[in-house]
């Protein structure tokens, strides 16, 4: 049996950052990182942006840290490996190859997986769920020969993928069940403006269209809407949300309906077991309530905090203003704060016509979120400070 001080399950940025946090405070403890992909932790956010349109190889630009870092830090990395069983009481993890790791402390960082709509043909060839390097490589190759690619969805990933494909001179259509893109995060007027930018770039918009199924024998031929329309497509990119990878802890206290519940130290109710990134359902000390974030910056920061806390040599709360950003065509949007509830009032500074503005979203008289279009990193930091002050934090 293999014995380790720390077991990190998940090879994304969350897991990699936990390793980094551990080594900042414990130079000698034995660490094993187990990841299902065959790549070291990398910048997953690039897959729908630069990687998809710039044709860069996986070995360039994507890694978060040089692979040699793990060797020099004496961190064992097991790639292409999954954990099939996780025993909380005995502190044991069984790997796909049958080996067992006995651990003192562990961190769950398995991330999330794309939601696969339960419709006919969701598993056909050429229906892509963009999550990994392999998915992005397959999509890049298919895009070189396909006449039309349909992106199903209207959120961040869908918009980024559609923009990148269109910038690569591919004909792209977007099918979205709502009348405007990014409607989950933006007010109706701004959503309509973003939608208009996609139309100007030549993206065919199939809005207010609900997916009914994918048609084809082995590979995709058409996409059917609930209204009965058939849209010809050789490739579909499905971006209809994600769900946390909690299968190995299902039906345990480590799994809940909204993720893995953790304290503000990112520790589960099982002492010595932590959760970060797309899994962690954590108390938001600044905006209030419980929250699960599915963005790269969140996983990165949580990993560093959990890595420090798991060593027992530093104890710090996770306390961050939620933040994420997106890049589509020549647009750059930064989101600071809470966008889970539609704003009661919107304050616009700047102008849509110049593609440079700031939106402030209010619930009653309380500022809850700030959207910046084409602003500097300093402006983003100033927005975080403004929101903190508005919250009295």
User: Contact, 26 vs 125, CB < 8 A?
Assistant: no
pLDDT for the residue 60 = 67
Residues 6 or more apart whose CB falls under 8 angstroms from that of 134 comprise 37
User: Contact, 21 vs 136, CB < 8 A?
Assistant: no
**What letters, b where the CB count within 10 A reaches 16 and e where it falls short, cover 110-142?**
bbbebeebeeebeebebbbbbbbbeebeebbeb
User: Contact, 145 vs 230, CB < 8 A?
Assistant: no
pLDDT for the residue 59 = 64
Residue 33 backbone dihedrals phi, psi, to 5 degrees: -110, 125
Q: For the chain (length 393 residues), average pLDDT per consecutive 10?
A: 97 96 97 95 91 75 81 96 96 96 98 95 94 94 90 97 95 97 97 98 96 94 94 95 95 95 98 97 94 94 98 95 95 96 96 96 96 97 97 85
Place of tokens 């562990």: 106
3-state DSSP assignment of residue 89: coil
CA–CA gap between residue 197 and residue 208 (Å, rounded) = 18
Place of tokens 């977007």: 174
pLDDT for the residue 57 = 72
SS3 content of the chain, % helix, strand, coil (to 5): 25, 30, 40
pLDDT for the residue 65 = 73
CA atoms within 13 A on the CB side of 235: 24
Residues 6 or more apart whose CB falls under 8 angstroms from that of 135 comprise 47, 128, 129
CA–CA gap between residue 306 and residue 317 (Å, rounded) = 9
Query: What domains are defined for the chain?
Result: 2-113+243-311 (3.50.50.60), 116-238 (3.50.50.60), 330-391 (3.30.390.30)
pLDDT for the residue 96 = 95
In terms of Cβ atoms closer than 10 Å to its own Cβ (0-12, 13-18, 19+), residue 257 is exposed
Number of residues that make up the chain: 393
CA–CA gap between residue 40 and residue 318 (Å, rounded) = 25
User: Contact, 390 vs 367, CB < 8 A?
Assistant: yes
Residues 6 or more apart whose CB falls under 8 angstroms from that of 129 comprise 114, 116, 135, 238, 239
Q: Give one word for 105, left, alpha or beta, with left for phi > 0 and alpha for psi -120 to 50.
A: beta
In terms of Cβ atoms closer than 10 Å to its own Cβ (0-12, 13-18, 19+), residue 236 is buried
Residues 6 or more apart whose CB falls under 8 angstroms from that of 256 comprise 281
Count other C-beta atoms under 10 Å from residue 143's C-beta: 22
**What letters, b where the CB count within 10 A reaches 16 and e where it falls short, cover 78-95?**
beebbbeebeeeebebbb
265: nearest Cα among 323, 312, 300, 297: 312
CA–CA gap between residue 150 and residue 234 (Å, rounded) = 8
What is the pTM assigned to this prediction? 0.94
């Amino acid at each position: 049996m293999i014995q380790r001080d720390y077991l990190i399950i998940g090879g994304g940025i969350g897991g990699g950052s936990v390793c980094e946090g551990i080594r900042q405070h414990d130079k000698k403890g034995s660490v094993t990182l187990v990841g299902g992909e065959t790549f070291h932790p990398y910048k997953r956010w690039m897959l729908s942006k630069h990687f998809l349109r710039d044709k860069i190889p996986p070995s360039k630009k994507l890694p978060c840290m040089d692979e040699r870092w793990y060797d020099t830090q004496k961190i064992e990395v097991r790639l292409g490996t999954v954990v099939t069983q996780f025993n909380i009481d005995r502190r044991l993890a069984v790997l796909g190859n049958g080996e067992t790791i006995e651990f003192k402390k562990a961190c769950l960082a398995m991330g999330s997986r794309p939601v696969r709509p339960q419709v006919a043909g969701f598993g056909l060839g050429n229906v892509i769920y963009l999550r990994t390097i392999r998915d992005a490589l397959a999509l890049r190759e298919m895009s070189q020969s396909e006449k039309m690619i349909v992106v199903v969805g209207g959120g961040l990933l869908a918009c980024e993928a559609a923009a990148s494909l269109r910038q690569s001179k591919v004909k792209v259509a977007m099918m979205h069940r709502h009348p405007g893109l990014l409607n989950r995060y933006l007010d109706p007027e701004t959503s309509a403006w973003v939608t208009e930018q996609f139309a100007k770039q030549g993206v065919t918009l199939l809005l207010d269209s609900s997916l009914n199924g994918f048609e084809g024998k082995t590979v995709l031929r058409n996409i059917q809407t609930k209204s009965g329309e058939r849209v010809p497509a050789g490739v579909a990119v499905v971006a209809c949300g994600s769900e946390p990878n909690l299968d190995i802890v299902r039906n345990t206290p480590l799994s809940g309906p909204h993720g893995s519940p953790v304290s503000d130290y990112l520790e589960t109710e099982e002492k010595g077991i932590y959760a970060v990134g797309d899994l962690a359902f954590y108390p938001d000390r600044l905006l209030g309530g419980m929250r699960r974030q599915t963005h790269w910056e969140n996983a990165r920061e949580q990993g560093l905090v959990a890595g420090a806390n798991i060593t027992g040599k530093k104890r710090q709360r996770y306390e961050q203003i939620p933040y994420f950003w997106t890049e589509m065509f020549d647009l750059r949007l930064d989101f600071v704060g809470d966008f889970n509830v539609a704003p009661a009032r919107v304050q616009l500074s700047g102008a849509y016509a110049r593609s440079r503005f700031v939106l402030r979203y209010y619930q009653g008289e309380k500022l809850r979120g700030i959207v910046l279009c084409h602003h500097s990193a300093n402006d983003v930091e100033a927005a975080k400070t403004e929101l903190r002050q508005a919250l009295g934090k």
